[in-house]
Structure 1
Amino acid sequence: MALRQISDAICDHLAQPEPARPLVLSLHGPPGVGKSMFHLLAAHALYNRQPDRPGLRCPGLDCAGYKVLYGMDYTADERAAQHSALRAALLDHVRHAPESLLVVEEYDKLDCPMRGFFRQLLENGPVANATLNKAIVVLESNLGYTELHDLLLRAGDRSKIAPEEAQRVLKDMVFSRWLAEGCEERSDTMKMVGMVSFFLPFFPLERRHIRQLFEMRLAERGAELQNGQLGALQWDEAVIDFLTEKVDFEGDFPIEGAKEVATLMTRYASRPLRLWAAAQQQQLAAQQQAAKKGGGSDGGSSSGGVAAAGRLRVADGGMELTVEPAKALS
């Protein structure tokens, strides 16, 4: 739901030669569901950068308009100095890159002075010779996890939730939160909330999504083996079951979203796959050496051997994974 709305909103905003206001997207959801990955991929697309390019600096010089603001919750002693420095840096960035992709992480933690500054920047157009009208502003927050979780449980299926329903839930939540903080008059709080173009839900992942992610990661590892001419990689459902069972769930929802997938792949799959790759390399080297001794290089063929397919499976005892030649398990 969120990604479809985001892509359409960005395309419509970019189609305007002189937009009257910035596109402001408020992303909500628990950790590990793809909010940060979204704006990184958006930066690659907006600045025409290939994510797999060696040495890509994005954020950085290769995506000069892409700026992510972290850690906006300051202690009282450092607040004034940090506000001044942040305000100066932000205005300088917008002056040099008016078509910015500006991300404010954990924006719900903005204190009253910083929220007032952002309201001024979003509402009044030019500030200190800088304007955000051509910019895309992403407000990112973990706030709303409980509301989205309950909404998903009530609907029974995320496909049954209308975008307007999710927007209303998130908008009301942010308004109530800001109003309770008492930073400004109620009418100003309403204006600030009204400046957000879209409130977008990143719903909690479900068990089936975690299984799909493990399948994708194993497919990536298999492609790496094949690209290195080290044979194909196979696995069965028991491997996906084994990895998925290691994830912490609350009901059908992973507590940390997708964050545990990479950790568990490293913990259980990386070592057996590296050992298998090393064994394949040694076997191929031996085959090539034997082919040379037998005169196999004279006929124009230099392969010297073919790597066997490997099959990842749950080892005996059920505590780890191992890789064996696929033919040994047939």
Structure 2
Amino acid sequence: MKSGKLCVLFFSLLPLVTVEAGLFDIFDVFFDKDDLRPFDYTDLEKDLRESLYGQHIALEAILKAVSLFMRDPEPSKPLVLSFHGPTGVGKSFVSKIIARNIFKKGEKSSHVHLIISDYHFPHKSEAALYQTQLREWIYGNVSSFPRSMFIFDEMDKMNPHLIDAIKPFLDYSDVDKVSFRNAIFIFLSHAPANLIINMTLDFWKEGKERVEINGQELEAQIYQNILNEKDNGFWQSSLLGQHLVDHFIAFLPLELKHVRQCVLAEMANLNMTEDFDLADKVAKDMSFIPPDNIFAVKGCKSIRYKLGQHMKLNKTEL
């Protein structure tokens, strides 16, 4: 959903909705069912382990949750995952990994929808209108394609009334005779980044490995933090009280070694020759959180830009 507008168009009894750059093509609705890939646990596991760095909690939790859901022929409710952590640590990236393991076209599938709070709902005064449009838009998409996937970015900034508009679709019941049990909802949130960073830092200071951080304990702390954070859209909505989010998954801050892995991965993505020295230089050129300078401020978010800068510098020196 790249357009800032949401609207619903009914063709006979079939809802067609504005998604990505424009309206669903009529052929998509009838013939795009083959966009779904046969789900393969091994493929998802391989993809996560090869592409995701420093996120043992997220890897295991997502692999288990997505696999159980996709293998269930009759799920009792939609899959609802909430990803939490600082900038650039893989929340959006993992959403893309999930998408490409479910849809042949991955994130470019017309059934994968990205909603960005500040971009798509910029005016607080129009919250009531957005609420109605959002309900109709989600309903229309799932009506035409039950295995639709929705990614809500900046969930902590979203108006609680809009979050409440999503709630009926996350429950165990049908909505106007339409089942949402095969749909997937993923919420991305920066909060509570400080809690996650501080816990990871405490482990480092105590000489413990980050893989020793218990995901279930951290999930409980994230949930409690959201409950106590009154400025968070989650807290003000009724979503938490109904216990409709299946997992609150923590993404940990990234260390130098993880950023280095990101650089090497970007080199491979650009079909560059693997250069460990250059990767090390680029990784060390990233900003790290003072005073300990253990975790990258932006994670791997600006890797491509930094890599490009160093490549230009190398050409100039030659």
The TM-score, its normalising length taken from structure 2, stands at: 0.71
Match of 2:166 in 1: 118
Deviation at 1:160, TM superposition (A): 0.9
Deviation string 1:66-92 (CA, Å, 9 cap, x unpaired) is 111112554233222222222211110
- Tell me, yes or no, if structure 1 residue 39 matches structure 2 residue 95: yes
Q: Which residue of 1 aligns with 2:137?
A: 89
Contact 1:26 1:140 in 2 (8 A): yes
Instruction: Specify whether residues 177 and 119 from structure 1 end up closer, same or farther in structure 2 by C-alpha distance, changes over 3 A only.
Output: farther
Q: What displacement does 1:212 show?
A: 2.2
Distance change in 2, residues 1:107/1:218 (3 Å): closer
CA distance, structure 1, for counterparts of residue 137 and residue 268 of structure 2: 43
1:266 counterpart letter in structure 2: G
| d(CA) in 2 for partners of 1:133, 1:202 | 26
Amino acid at match of 1:65: H
For 2:214, the equivalent position in structure 1 comes to: 162
Give the whole-Å Cα distance in 1 for the aligned partners of 2:274 and 2:202.
Answer: 39
SS in 2 for 1:249: coil
Inter-partner Cα distance in structure 2 for 1:321 and 1:8: 49
Residue 103 of structure 1 aligns with which residue? Answer: 151
Larger-gyration structure (1/2)? 1
Instruction: Give secondary structure in 2 for the equivalent of 1:253.
Output: coil
Report how many aligned residue pairs link the two structures.
252
Indicate conservation of the 8 Å contact 1:64/1:97, yes or no: no
Q: 2:80–2:184: 8 Å Cα contact kept in structure 1?
A: yes
Give the equivalent residue in structure 2 for 1:294.
Answer: none
* Shift in alpha-carbon separation, 1:91–1:28, aligned structure 2, 3 A: same
**Given that residues 81 and 187 in structure 2 are in contact (C-alpha distance below 8 angstroms), is that contact kept between their aligned partners in structure 1?**
yes
Counterpart code for 1:191? G
Tell me by how many angstroms 1:189 deviates. Answer: 5.8
SS of residue paired to 1:20: coil
Aligned 8 A contact 2:79 2:184 in 1? yes
Q: How does 1:89-238 map to 2 (within 5 A)?
A: 89-123=137-171, 125-156=173-204, 157-177=209-229, 183=236, 188=238, 190-192=240-242, 194-219=243-268, 223-224=271-272, 233=273, 235=275, 237=277
Q: What amino acid does structure 2 have at the position aligned with 1:200?
A: I
Residue 142 (structure 1) shift: 0.8
Pair 153,183 (structure 1): closer, same or farther in 2 beyond 3 Å: closer
Offset of 1:219 from its aligned partner? 4.9
Task: Give the alignment's Cα RMSD to 1 decimal.
Answer: 2.6
1:248 is paired with a residue of what secondary structure? coil
Q: CA deviation at 1:109?
A: 2.3
Supply the AA of the counterpart residue of 2:153: E
Asked if 2 retains the 8 angstrom alpha-carbon contact of 1:22 and 1:132, the reply is yes
Whole-angstrom CA distance in 1 between matches of 2:151 and 2:210: 26
Letter in 1 for 2:75: P
Does residue 67 (structure 1) correspond to residue 113 (structure 2)? The answer is yes
Is the 2:131–2:165 contact (alpha carbons within 8 Å) kept by the matching residues of 1? no
- In the TM superposition, residue 190 of structure 1 has moved relative to its aligned partner by 4.6
Provide the rounded CA distance (Å) in 2 between the counterparts of 1:241 and 1:37.
22
**CA displacement at 1:16 relative to structure 2:** 1.4
Letter of the 1:171 partner, please give it: Y
Instruction: Give 1:268 shift.
Output: 1.6
Structure 2 Cα separation of the partners of residues 241 and 189 of structure 1: 43
Q: Which residue of 1 aligns with 2:309?
A: 267
Q: CA deviation at 1:121?
A: 2.3
Query: Residue 211 and residue 112 in structure 1: after superposition, are their counterparts in 2 closer, same or farther (change >3 A)?
Result: closer
Amino acid at match of 1:47: F
**Once the two structures are aligned, what percentage of the paired residues are identical?**
22
> For residues 113 and 274 of structure 2, what CA distance do their matches in structure 1 show?
41
Deviations 1:245-266 (A, max 9, x none): 3211111111111122111111
Structure 1 CA distance for aligned equivalents of residues 279 and 154 of structure 2: 33
Quick one: distance in 1 between partners of 2:100 and 2:123?
34
SS of the residue corresponding to residue 114 of structure 2 reads strand
Is the CA contact 1:65–1:97 (under 8 Å) kept in the aligned structure 2?
yes
Structure 2 gaps of 5+ residues are 1-56
Code of the aligned partner of 1:177: E
State the alpha-carbon separation in 1 of the partners of residues 317 and 124 from structure 2. Answer: 51
Q: TM-score, normalised by structure 1?
A: 0.68
SS at match of 1:128: coil
